[in-house]
Amino acid sequence: MDNSVVISVGKRLDVSNSVAHENYDSYPNDFLLSEGVVVFNERMELLPLVSDFLTHYRINHSDYSVKTYANNLLYLVKYLTTYDDNYIGSKRDDCLLTVHATEIQKYFQYCRSNKDKNGIKKRSIGGKTISNRDATYCRFFSEFLCNSPAGYKSLREENPYENGSLVIAAKESLIKPALFLEIEALIRVAHHEREKCLIQFMYDSGVRRGEVESICQENILRLSRECRKSIIVDKNTIQLPSEYVAMEIKGNKGRGREIKFRNTVVSKETINRVQRYHSSLEYKKHKRKWGQTSTPAFLNQNGDPYTPNAVSKLVTKLSNRALKLGLIPLPLSPHKIRHGFGAMLLNSEDLGRSQLDRL
């Protein structure tokens, strides 16, 4: 539909071949176009509402963005004037003056369908594209048609987007969680204990890649002590070794990316492995550079903490190595490892009687 969108920057438009010359002898051979945007429908009729909106929108946006918005609005107008009984035969873009939220939602349902109103097969439209169109319509109604900027007349009071977006953005595909055997493969191809420990800890605790560097050695030591706690039942002291221990994590998903504490669980075996790594000569050597400050639980070969990018690079490196050896079918990522923790937790029979309990 790009031919239906004309963006002018004050140039002249050649109309010497126009059929208008047949009826008007004095019809000019060219027009001087003012700076702005004009949009036409399939019958080459000017759409005044859309044109005015995009002329204003173009002040602070690129021509590429203007054409995207124009096409999105053209799709909606075409649907309403073709398939909606209330607007069939509507002139130009007048339908936008009275269309309701429910009618726009029906258009989105039509976009998702693989058949048109006559049952003929058509290409369905993905969630990202629909969300993009929804954002266009929201801006058109909320910032122009129902709340016009200076210099434009407000043409309607009811805003179909008064309560926000009309679609719920959905992911195109579910993330497949990393399986236990795939994590085992990553650990097998790792050449250093620091890498093996980090992969096992991420899978066993569900930490995000951005949360790794905030975990300190003292946190691991505290968890180790929790695992060895005893409980007094009667006159005798009965030691109840726990296979899991609760762990508090400095989350990075709070509002404005501020710290938001949350709890997870990690197994005793993983804590023990990390502690053995902390007893290694490599870790003790790097720990000296930290002096009296808290030492990160996981240090790279230079003695620095694993940043989010460093975690991603490590997982990618090990994933590619395992792929070449045929140990895993598809590449892994830190987020897939986190999803693997969630799947493992929901299916762990020793953490609750049902998935609802474990959830």
- 119, 145, 171: which is the final residue of a domain? 145
Task: Examine the pLDDT at 11 and tell me if it is beyond 90.
Answer: no
Do 251 and 120 fall within a single domain? no
Segment 199-240, tens digit of pLDDT: 999 999 999 998 999 999 999 999 888 877 766 556 665 656
Tell me: do 132 and 197 sit in the same domain: no
What CATH number does residue 238 fall under?
A: 1.10.443.10
Q: Which residues sit opposite 121 in a β-bridge?
A: 115
Q: Do 77 and 50 form a contact (C-beta atoms < 8 A)?
A: yes
Same domain, 353 and 217: yes
Which of 100, 118, 145 is a domain's end point? 145
Q: Is 18 among the domain residues?
A: yes
Query: Given this model, what pLDDT does residue 256 score?
Result: 43
The number of domains in the chain is 2
Residue 339, domain member (yes or no): yes
For the segment 44-57, the average pLDDT, to the nearest whole number, is 88
* 85-89, 120-124, 256-260, 332-336: the lowest-pLDDT one: 256-260
Give per-residue pLDDT as tens, 16-27: 776 656 666 666
* Paired residues of 6 in beta bridges: 38
Q: Which of 52, 339, 330 is nearest to 171 (CA)?
A: 339
Residue 101: the pLDDT is: 93
Residues 133 and 225 in one domain: no
The position carrying tokens 């930490």 is 207
Q: Are residues 117 and 226 in the same domain?
A: no
pLDDT at 44: 82
Q: What's the pLDDT at 255?
A: 46
Query: Has residue 229 been placed in a domain?
Result: yes
Q: How many of the other CB atoms lie within 10 Å of CB of 228?
A: 11
Could you give the CA distance from residue 98 to residue 80 in angstroms, rounded to a whole number? 11
User: Which residue range is the domain that position 58 belongs to?
Assistant: 2-145
Return d(Cα 14, Cα 69) in angstroms, integer.
26
Q: What is the pLDDT of residue 15?
A: 62
Banded pLDDT at 356 (limits 50, 70, 90)? low
Average pLDDT over the chain reads 84
258 located within any domain:
yes
| 301 & 244 share domain | yes
In sequence order, what are the beta bridge partners of 296? Answer: 216
pLDDT in tens, 338-355: 999 888 877 777 666 766
Together in a domain, 340 and 258:
yes
Q: What is the mean pLDDT of residues 236-256?
A: 67
